[in-house]
Chains A and B, each alone.
Chain A
């Protein structure tokens, strides 16, 4: 009995929270204005009420080739801001786990601990929409697209150190709707590795291919 009473009370509460939204249109106004204009239009213009969609958030997954350590799955997220139709800035965060070098596989030795094998990178980049366009997958569908050149700087935490990293690449954005996009990113992450890890100091090229889903807001 008590439980039924409680559920009734809750139902009343839930309806009560929903009702004010219905009641928001004052009934007197309807009575005053004739039925000629069914659609209420704002006569004043307020720029702030227009929904701006210049931010883009993307989640991505793909493969990252870590020089000397094989290729590994990589995943992460990006946050971008579109400054102009041809320009955007974007921050990215990604992670992967490195495999073994050939030396390690042959000798059974471990040059890195499990923790040092975890690769985490972040970067800030500037993108240029070089080739904006439209694609026509069928007779009746058209999607907007962008081919962009992107590059920037950041940090890669790998093999026991933070490594200053340049990144440069190309990307393709296919907009399924005005808010959702499919993205394909090809990126080269360039950083230095030391002799105590790889036997020689060298600049490594770490190529990454990812597929992402973007949302504009």
Chain B
């Protein structure tokens, strides 16, 4: 009985996928320039092996970076650069529009995802973060970081609010307040390896800049306070740090 059900499900799935596969694949465009060059691979160094003429219809199959794989009516398949494809027409005769990322898109971004590297109180650190913008001026970020000291390494998980007073600037400064937890792991070879977790707060001052496409570079200075005071010890630890990194935005 079980096996029967399984076979039936496989059959149903197969039929559904077959039916889907019959949909015509790709977008169609008509060449408007005197000709376009079709390369053997998705890069400007790959040789041009075929030239399609004005008026010919081509199907666009897929895209890799700025290169589009096309198929001509005669069945030739190759790669065309975005700049040439932008000078073709739709079958209805209109100019093709390809999305470009602008400075406007940078200041209007909603999601940001990045990796950073830097210094955490004299130790090398690496970080990963994700951010969501509530408005052009205010966003929230969640970050995971690791630092590598001589006698211990740390992991931290923090959340923070980031204020950006000039979102429309290409070099846009920001100010941030954050809090979270830090776990300190002494090296196992030290005599008393005791793992401790403390609360931590920090302030940051930094600069974000739009590089190109969907890429951001950012650099910041951080000032951390680790609430390590206990009944025996009543001093909190205060550390300086900096980090720089790259991010993508959507």
Contact = CB atoms under 8 A, between A and B. Distances in A.
A95 B4 CA distance: 41
B215 A10 contact: no
Interface string A3-18: 1001100110011011
A178 B62 contact: yes
Interface stretch (B183-191, B196-204, B220-228): B183-191
Interface in B43-74: 43-46, 60-69
A114 interface: no
Interface in B1-55: 1, 4-5, 8-9, 11-12, 15-16, 19-20, 24, 26-29, 40-46
Given A7-B4, A51-B62, A45 B29 contact: yes
Contacts of A17: 12, 16
A24 B18 CA distance: 13
The SS class assigned to the B binding surface is: mixed
Interface of B: 1, 4-5, 8-9, 11-12, 15-16, 19-20, 24, 26-29, 40-46, 60-69, 90-92, 94, 96-99, 115, 117, 124, 126, 146, 148, 153, 185, 187-189, 193, 213, 215, 246
Contact of B11 (A14, A53, A129): A14
12 contacts: A45-B27, A45-B29, A50-B68, A85-B66, A86-B43, A142-B40, A144-B41, A144-B42, A153-B126, A161-B187, A164-B124, A194-B187
B1 A41 contact: no
A161 B149 CA distance: 10
A132 B148 contact: no
A14 B153 contact: no
A22 B19 contact: yes
Given A50-B68, A85-B43, A132-B43, A194 B189 contact: yes
A53 B41 contact: no
Given A49-B27, A52-B62, A162 B92 contact: no
Contacts of B126: 124, 153-155, 164
A43 B9 CA distance: 36
Contacts of B97: 45, 47
A54 B5 CA distance: 38
Contacts of A124: 115, 126
A43 B148 contact: no
A105 interface: no
Contacts of B92: 43-44
Contacts, number: 138
B44 A10 contact: no
B64 A53 contact: yes
A164 B123 CA distance: 9
Contacts of B9: 14
B90 A50 contact: no
Contacts of B28: 41-42, 45
B137 to A, nearest CB: 29
Nearest to A15: B12
Nearest to A144: B41
A107 to B, nearest CB: 18
Contacts of A85: 42-44, 64-67
3 nearest interchain CB pairs?
A160-B188, A21-B19, A164-B148
A85 B187 CA distance: 43
B188 A116 contact: yes
Contacts of A164: 124, 126, 148
A155 B123 CA distance: 13
A42 B65 CA distance: 24
A129 B65 CA distance: 13
A46 interface: yes
Given A40-B24, A161-B153, A194-B189, A47 B99 contact: yes
Contacts of B117: 153
Contacts of A153: 117, 126
A46 B26 CA distance: 10
A163 interface: yes
A69 interface: no
B19 A18 contact: yes
A83 interface: yes
A194 B124 CA distance: 16
